[in-house]
Structure 1
Amino acid sequence: MTASPDRRHHPVATAVVEFFGSTRFTRALTLTIIATAFLSFLIRSTLGWPGLIGVVSALVLFAAISFIGRWRELDWHGLLPISLLVFLAWSVITLLWSKYLPSTLNGLAYLLAYAFLGIYVAVVRDLIQIVRAIGDVLRVVLTASLVLEVVSGVLLDVPIRFLGITGSLASAGPIQGVLGTRNMVGFVGLIAIVTFAIELATRSIRRGTGIYSVVIAGLAIVLSGSPVTVGVTIVTAVAAVILLALRRAAPETRRGWHFVLLAVSLLALFSAFLLRGRILEILSTRREFTYRLEIWRELWRLITLNPLEGWGWAGYWRPNVSPFFALDVIGNRAHTSALNAFIDVYFQTGLIGFVIFVGFVGLAFGRAWVLAASKKSIVYLWLALIVVVLVATAMAESAIVVEYGWLLLVICSVKAARDLSWRGRLRRADDPRAVGKD
């Protein structure tokens, strides 16, 4: 007599899969994944790259087993954005002509690992659960950052060199916390402000906790002294006001307003292009922008050598690998990125990869924006505003292609695609149970 398929499974293996697929485990793993992403600089500074790689590898393993445990519960039809998969595929293809093959292998493994973790979080948790998890992590990250800054800059008055903390809190900053640089403190502080505001709006946390959270995020932004964050904050505030107005508009007029906003945005971009010389002249008076401009000019010279295919994916730059070490003469400091995600992608994956990446980001932004404007739940506002923060920051930092920036971009793109993917509409058309559903 043949045993049934269920009985052929080893009871211990079944118990392990059920444990890893349980709701309690997925909640804990989601928190750990997000915490690891945001604390990657701290982990790298204390345990080194081997320690961080070990942690990320363990998370990937746990997430894979958890997927197996929940496989039958998940609807995979049209789940993953094709644009994301195409960008990842093209990045892998750059192995064929990479000028630094070992670095490309390492960089691709890191990129794919965080993409997989981002997909896991987006698939197994609802949007409000993701917002809550990120809020919980950022409360700890920002509190720890401010505590260390107080210890370094006020109590001991000495820098904490292995974390890059200069101990400048007594003179009102800039602070670095556990995030490495002041721009990253401002970036994470702005993500936190958006997250905490949504938590308060949805009454997901106590009012006292929400007020404390907003205060520490505001302090982080102010004390970071980051000019990049100032600009991104203005862009995010304008986007929030527009989205709130669109949410109040009548549904029949909302599409028209979207076209008006698109036309205004394109006009603004065209005007900026025409006035680029004057804009660069004004910005060149700032030392920080001049430093970035020097890097971009040198990178453009390298891009013209491999314009279509790029030099090969690397992610974080390797200072001991050509051509990255040659760029260290700019500003007399080591560089880990191009300080612009789009230029970084262009340099590493060429024009083809750049077009794919812009398409991927554009689709994620467009879908998130439409959902935020049309969905009744205010939690969708988080989705759109986080993409706005990521894209605006990408103009002056490369954070959205590594670690927590990349993780958030993947989460947002998957969540937005799930509700607006054209493949989802095909599924609903083929499924008689979906008839009449929104």
Structure 2
Amino acid sequence: MLVRAQNRLLATFIVLQLACGDLVRNLIGWGPWGALSGITLLWALFALRRSGASWHWLPAPLLAFVGVAAATLIVTPHPLATLLGVSLLLVHVMLAVLLATLPLDALLDVLHRCLQGLLIASLAFEIVVALFVQGPVYPVWLEHSSGLPMIPWSTGGIFWGHRIQGITGNPNLTAMIALLALIVAIGRQRAGLDRRLWWLWTALPVVVLALTRSMTVLAAAVVVLLSFWLVYTWRRRPRGAFRPAVMISAALLAVLVAWAVGNWDRVVEALGREASMEDRFQIWAGALEWWQGSPLLGRGWMGYWMPWVEPYDRLGLQDGIVYLQAHSVWVDVLMQAGILGVLAWAWLLASTIRGAARDLAEAPRGAGPIAAVPLMILIAEAVQGIAESRPLIELGIVLLVVFAVRQQRARVELGRLQTMAFPLPLHPGE
């Protein structure tokens, strides 16, 4: 299926803005970023009207999750912020529906170009800062006169063993972009789409993963690579080989976890992190304490915390720096949308992963590598969500919804074809 150039251009613009929102905010601040997002929304609305998309493409788990998020308006102590959060969630769903109109190979091509481009730009940015600035660079729009600690956009220490933060200004975000790029690159290489430069598109994300040293994303990368091996064994090896492969993978994962726990100090030292998880535990404790005031529906859907809303302006305060997430999807959803929100999110995530696995099982032999990519992306987001809240916003939530919508769209179109079919008479005259 041919995809018009303007559709690819819009999809590229959407993916870039979702993947590097921190970059735009570091450059121009929240206000202009909001205006740019508004322009993207208007463009997407115009394209969506002409795309032939249908509300029937929205699966029940997604509707349940959005419904619970909207219902938190009943109990929230900050209705305007919750209304804005729910509106942003609806915008993300709309953008996902628009992206879901693309064929899978076209969508993955857009992801490939955008993510690899961001990795190249991240390395170039870090090298330029190290060579010419030779010190930390801070977001352009921040006020230095406040006296509060600030997280630098880049430390300028790529040649001195410092963790790089990339052009996004966030090492964990840059690392996740690298992992997604690696997943897409492996799928494309196995499908024979990148015959000449496949080694570059595979090596570049690995280098960035090593330089960002994100513990959560590295753990997700290990799970994804084991999952790729299991999928390969499942589809390409004799049936009797799959069960031993599962047992070997489980044993290998258990050994790695046990080794990491037993050598925790050395692991975190190698990653340039602190051995204590006290800061994260404190954020979780604060979020759970705030949730206890409204267990069923939570404190109001917000997605990424809004720093001008109390108590989010201090809930994640650590060493003078305000973190705007609970550092766990599950804690964040519980706090914002309560027990009902957690159940709806679990339904959405589990059903989408199950649907991706079913699509892979039903894919023709030659289409298997491309069909495996959505499943691997969903597995990566599921692991990341244990200790990060990024899957709830921007590219994370949009990719989840894209794959959920694509699965529901396929079911709707199959049902339509079955409705159009009619039985032929078994005997003349019947």
TM-score calculated relative to the size of structure 1 = 0.82
1:154 pairs with 2:131: yes
1:82 pairs with 2:60: yes
Aligned partners of 1:243 and 1:373 also within 8 Å: no
1:387, 1:56 → 2: CA distance?
Answer: 25
Tell me the residue number matched to 1:178. Answer: 167
Match of 2:282 among 273, 286, 294: 294
Mapping 1:207-286, distance limit 5 Å: 207-208=196-197, 210-248=198-236
1:93, 1:280 → 2: CA distance?
Answer: 45
User: Can you list the C-alpha shifts for 1:209-250, whole angstroms capped at 9, x where unaligned?
Assistant: x32222221111000021222211111111111111122367
1:143, 1:157 → 2: CA distance?
Answer: 20
1:359 pairs with 2:347: yes
1:104, 1:434 → 2: CA distance?
Answer: 52
Tell me the residue number matched to 1:15. Answer: none
User: Can you list the C-alpha shifts for 1:336-360, whole angstroms capped at 9, x where unaligned?
Assistant: 1001111101100000011001100
User: Can you list the C-alpha shifts for 1:170-207, whole angstroms capped at 9, x where unaligned?
Assistant: 12230001223211121111111011122222233452
Where do 5+ consecutive residues of structure 2 fail to align?
A: 140-151, 269-273, 425-430
Match of 2:359 among 352, 360, 371: 371
User: Can you list the C-alpha shifts for 1:267-292, whole angstroms capped at 9, x where unaligned?
Assistant: x99xx9xx9xxx79979995363321
Tell me the residue number matched to 1:384. Answer: 375
1:375, 1:358 → 2: CA distance?
Answer: 26
1:94, 1:230 → 2: CA distance?
Answer: 34
Aligned partners of 2:24 and 2:33 also within 8 Å: yes
Give the letter aligned to residue 380 of structure 1. A
Give the letter aligned to residue 165 of structure 2. Q
Tell me the residue number matched to 2:398. Answer: 407
Aligned partners of 1:246 and 1:373 also within 8 Å: no
The structure carrying a bigger helix percent of its residues is 1
Match of 1:92 among 70, 77, 102: 70
Give the letter aligned to residue 342 of structure 1. W
Relative distance call for 1:288 and 1:218 in structure 2 (3 A) is farther
Which secondary structure state, in structure 2, belongs to the residue aligned with residue 322 of structure 1?
coil
Relative distance call for 1:185 and 1:380 in structure 2 (3 A) is same
Aligned partners of 1:173 and 1:225 also within 8 Å: no
Which secondary structure state, in structure 2, belongs to the residue aligned with residue 207 of structure 1?
coil
Give the letter aligned to residue 91 of structure 2. A
1:184, 1:66 → 2: CA distance?
Answer: 29
1:322 pairs with 2:275: no
How far is 1:167 from its partner?
A: 1.1
Tell me the residue number matched to 1:14. Answer: none
Which secondary structure state, in structure 2, belongs to the residue aligned with residue 327 of structure 1?
coil
Tell me the residue number matched to 2:147. Answer: none
1:141 pairs with 2:118: yes
Relative distance call for 1:222 and 1:288 in structure 2 (3 A) is farther
Aligned partners of 1:132 and 1:204 also within 8 Å: no
Where do 5+ consecutive residues of structure 1 fail to align?
A: 1-21
1:101 pairs with 2:83: no
Tell me the residue number matched to 1:309. Answer: 297
How far is 1:55 from its partner?
A: 2.0
How far is 1:319 from its partner?
A: 2.8
2:169, 2:94 → 1: CA distance?
Answer: 25
Tell me the residue number matched to 1:9. Answer: none
Aligned partners of 1:80 and 1:417 also within 8 Å: yes
Aligned partners of 2:51 and 2:98 also within 8 Å: no
TM-score calculated relative to the size of structure 2 = 0.83
1:29 pairs with 2:29: no
Relative distance call for 1:310 and 1:175 in structure 2 (3 A) is same
Give the letter aligned to residue 414 of structure 1. V
1:404, 1:324 → 2: CA distance?
Answer: 22
1:434, 1:216 → 2: CA distance?
Answer: 55
Identity within the alignment, %: 21
Tell me the residue number matched to 1:197. Answer: 186
1:97, 1:200 → 2: CA distance?
Answer: 50
2:317, 2:8 → 1: CA distance?
Answer: 46
Which secondary structure state, in structure 1, belongs to the residue aligned with residue 180 of structure 2?
helix
1:69, 1:23 → 2: CA distance?
Answer: 12
Tell me the residue number matched to 2:157. Answer: 168
1:25, 1:127 → 2: CA distance?
Answer: 17
Give the letter aligned to residue 347 of structure 2. G
Which secondary structure state, in structure 2, belongs to the residue aligned with residue 336 of structure 1?
coil
Tell me the residue number matched to 1:130. Answer: 107
Aligned partners of 2:283 and 2:316 also within 8 Å: no
How far is 1:154 from its partner?
A: 3.3
Give the letter aligned to residue 30 of structure 1. A
Give the letter aligned to residue 199 of structure 1. R
1:434, 1:223 → 2: CA distance?
Answer: 61
Question: Which is worse superposed, 288-297 or 424-433?
Answer: 424-433
1:48 pairs with 2:29: yes
Query: Aligned pairs, how many?
Result: 396
Tell me the residue number matched to 1:3. Answer: none
1:324, 1:175 → 2: CA distance?
Answer: 27
How far is 1:78 from its partner?
A: 4.7
1:339 pairs with 2:330: no
Give the letter aligned to residue 352 of structure 1. L
1:301, 1:288 → 2: CA distance?
Answer: 21
